[in-house]
């Protein structure tokens, strides 16, 4: 059973009974307040999931969310951001053959998922974002730190975890 059905997609609280998005049937929320709070982030993803017919894997969803945010806000997201995505390494050239095959499958699936009415990007840009997640991504876990609820890319935390191999976990404590 997926934790996506028990974690609010807005406040990240874990609950047994959540309300499901009526459009994409994937995202779940505590209540209308959380759904409204998350709508700005969820709007494009909701339409993409609905058109795709299902939610793709976490990496594909994260790449899409990053690209929508970059298309909307540009490279710097906030004044507190110490580094940008452009300054992070993707290390694609260091990937083993079997990793590259999985990588190419994700890129192919991403291209099927990415809406035709959204800004189109080159395969080099898409590959770079996937590489950034592969190299700098964090597992996002529940409050116990035992179960993964997703994957995230946090540029400031990448400075702390400067190993280029993901070895840290972001743990949510009742949505915080």
Domain 56-176 fold is: Annexin V; domain 1 (1.10.220)
The pTM is what?
Answer: 0.83
Indicate the average pLDDT of the chain. Answer: 85
pLDDT of amino acid 11: 86
CB 113 within 8 A of CB 60: yes
pLDDT class for 144, splitting at 50, 70, 90?
A: low
Backbone angles phi, psi at 142, to 5 degrees: -70, 180
7 DSSP assignment? B
CA dist 84 to 23, 76, 89, 99, 114, Å?
A: 33, 6, 11, 25, 23
Among candidates 123, 89, 86, which has minimal Cα distance to 106?
A: 123
List all residues 6 or more positions away from 152 whose beta carbon is below 8 Å from its beta carbon.
Answer: 62, 137, 138, 140, 170
- Grouping H, G, I as helix, E, B as strand and the rest as coil, residue 13 is coil
Kindly tell me if the per-residue pLDDT of 153 is higher than 90. Answer: no
**Mean pLDDT, residues 78-92 taken together:** 77
Two structure tokens written together for 46:
């909701």
Return d(Cα 173, Cα 52) in angstroms, integer: 32
Please calculate the CA angle 159-160-162 and round it to the nearest 5 degrees.
65
pLDDT class for 1, splitting at 50, 70, 90?
A: very low
- Neighbouring CB atoms inside 10 A of 131's CB total 19
pLDDT class for 14, splitting at 50, 70, 90?
A: confident
- Give the start-to-end residue ranges of the domains of the chain: 1-52, 56-176
Kindly tell me if the per-residue pLDDT of 27 is higher than 50. Answer: yes
CA dist 125 to 1, 19, 43, 86, 130, Å?
A: 33, 35, 23, 11, 9
Among candidates 154, 151, 72, which has minimal Cα distance to 106?
A: 151
Beta pairing partners, 138: 152
- Neighbouring CB atoms inside 10 A of 34's CB total 21
């Amino acid at each position: 059973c997926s934790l996506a059905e028990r974690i609010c997609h807005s406040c990240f609280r874990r609950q047994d009974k959540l309300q499901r998005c009526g459009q994409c049937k994937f995202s779940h929320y505590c209540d209308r307040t959380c759904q409204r709070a998350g709508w700005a982030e969820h709007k494009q993803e909701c339409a993409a999931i609905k058109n795709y017919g299902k939610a793709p894997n976490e990496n594909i969803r994260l790449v899409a969310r990053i690209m929508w945010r970059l298309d909307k806000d540009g490279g710097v997201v906030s004044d507190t951001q110490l580094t940008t995505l452009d300054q992070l390494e993707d290390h694609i050239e260091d990937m083993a053959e079997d990793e590259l095959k999985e990588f190419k499958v994700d890129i192919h699936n991403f291209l099927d998922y990415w809406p035709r009415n959204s800004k189109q990007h080159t395969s080099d840009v898409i590959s770079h974002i996937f590489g950034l997640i592969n190299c700098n991504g964090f597992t996002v876990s529940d409050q116990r730190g035992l179960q993964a609820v997703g994957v995230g890319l946090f540029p400031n935390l990448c400075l702390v975890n400067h190993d280029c191999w993901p070895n840290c976990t972001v743990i949510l404590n009742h949505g915080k």
